[in-house]
């Protein structure tokens, strides 16, 4: 990384917790290869401090930032402009400066779809089981709708949050249904794609999984298991899926692709070194 000076432009990521984030690793690697005078920094921000934090980031000249758990929805009312895609998804993960204030969009959908589209082109008959209904889950629903999936069974612990989640999509998600956590074993028996959007299994609680062992045994060998968590790799959930013969996808490629899209927005670069971002991340995780 080049020496930091008073001219260095700042980028970053906000979240709570933020210690696990590998976005600084991949973004700074790409910035260095592009030869740009930028630096990407993690900022721990609690929910109660979100508005104050955005004002502070503007004051110190931050050019743009990513948004992660749990702020992807809460940040939206604080922005002066939200893209049509982000409004449709209902969450923002990428923010940049404008003359009017902060503007935001969602690059998670693009990142989520990348590894699935690499597997096959036709997803029209796919039956999806979605674990969780937070901000990341909204990007998954948007992506599955774009793929034309047949059904999206969303599993929630809080029925009120589940109902609000379903209603928020209106007529756009006729294929979306809401289910209690107790229904997971029956749902898994017919699932073609299972996506974990919860933080269960994220460092430091790497022993946790959204599925108990009995439920995990209902996974079919031809099911695709997708965990949006990228560290540890594999998560406990993906370990369970692999033991059942499933094809496992972690959040690594989603992280890389959404990050590359954000870097283009912030810097105006026509292309960014995606291969470098991916290789640095794999090396860090011991997957190279």
Selecting among 72, 161, 264, 282, the annotated active-site residue is: 72
108 annotated among ligand-binding-site residues: yes
> Is residue 93 marked as binding?
yes
Q: Is 64:11 a contact under the CB 8 Å cutoff?
A: yes
Strand order of the sheet with strand 127-131?
Answer: 176-180, 151-156, 127-131, 193-196, 224-227, 247-249
Is 23 annotated as ligand-binding?
A: yes
Residue 124 marked in a binding site? no
Q: Is 285 annotated for ligand binding?
A: no
Give the C-alpha separation, 143 to 149, whole Å. 9
Q: Is 47 annotated as a binding residue?
A: no
Structure tokens at 18: 């933020």
Query: Is 161 considered catalytic here?
Result: no
The answer to whether the beta carbons of residues 141 and 169 sit under 8 Å apart is yes
Q: What is the DSSP string of 35-89?
A: T-SEEEEEEE--GGGHHHHHHHHHHTTEEEEEE-TT-TTTTGGG-SEE-HHHHHH
**Ligand-binding site membership of 222 (annotated):** no
| Residue 258 labelled as part of a binding site | yes
For residue 249, what are the β-bridge partners?
A: 226
- Spatial CB neighbours of 57, under 8 Å, sequence gap ≥ 6: 12, 14, 43, 65
- Residue 102, SS3 per DSSP: strand
The annotation status of 57 as a binding-site residue, yes or no, is: no
Task: Enter the tokens of residue 51.
Answer: 């508005």
| Feature table: binding site for shikimate | 21-23, 68, 93, 108, 230, 258
Query: Binding site: which residues?
Result: 21-23, 68, 84, 93, 108, 228, 230, 251, 258
Question: Which residue positions form the known binding site for NADP(+)?
Answer: 84, 228, 251
Q: Which residues are catalytic?
A: 72
């Amino acid at each position: 990384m080049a020496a930091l000076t008073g001219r260095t432009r700042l980028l970053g990521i906000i979240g709570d917790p933020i210690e696990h984030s590998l976005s600084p690793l991949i973004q700074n690697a790409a910035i260095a290869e592009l030869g740009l005078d930028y630096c990407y920094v993690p900022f721990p921000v609690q929910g109660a401090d979100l508005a104050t934090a955005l004002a502070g980031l503007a004051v110190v000249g931050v050019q743009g930032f990513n948004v992660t758990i749990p702020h992807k929805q809460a940040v939206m009312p604080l922005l002066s402009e939200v893209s049509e895609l982000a409004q449709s998804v209902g969450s923002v993960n990428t923010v940049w400066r404008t003359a009017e204030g902060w503007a935001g969009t969602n690059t998670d959908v693009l990142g989520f779809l990348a590894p699935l589209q690499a597997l096959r082109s036709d997803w029209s008959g796919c039956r999806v089981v979605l674990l969780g209904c937070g901000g990341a889950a909204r990007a998954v629903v948007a992506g599955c709708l774009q793929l034309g999936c047949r059904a999206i069974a969303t599993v929630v612990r809080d029925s009120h949050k589940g109902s609000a989640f379903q209603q928020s999509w209106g007529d756009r998600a006729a294929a979306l249904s809401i289910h209690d956590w107790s229904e997971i074993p029956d749902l898994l028996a017919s699932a073609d794609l299972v996506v974990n959007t919860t933080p269960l299994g994220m460092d430091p609680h790497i022993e946790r999984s959204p599925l108990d062992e009995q439920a995990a045994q209902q996974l079919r060998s031809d099911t695709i298991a997708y965990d949006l968590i990228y560290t540890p790799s594999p998560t406990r959930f993906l370990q369970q899926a692999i033991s059942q013969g499933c094809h496992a996808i972690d959040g690594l490629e989603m992280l890389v692709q959404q990050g590359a899209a954000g870097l283009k927005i912030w810097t105006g670069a026509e292309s960014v070194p995606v291969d470098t971002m991916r290789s640095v991340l794999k090396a860090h995780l011991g997957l190279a």
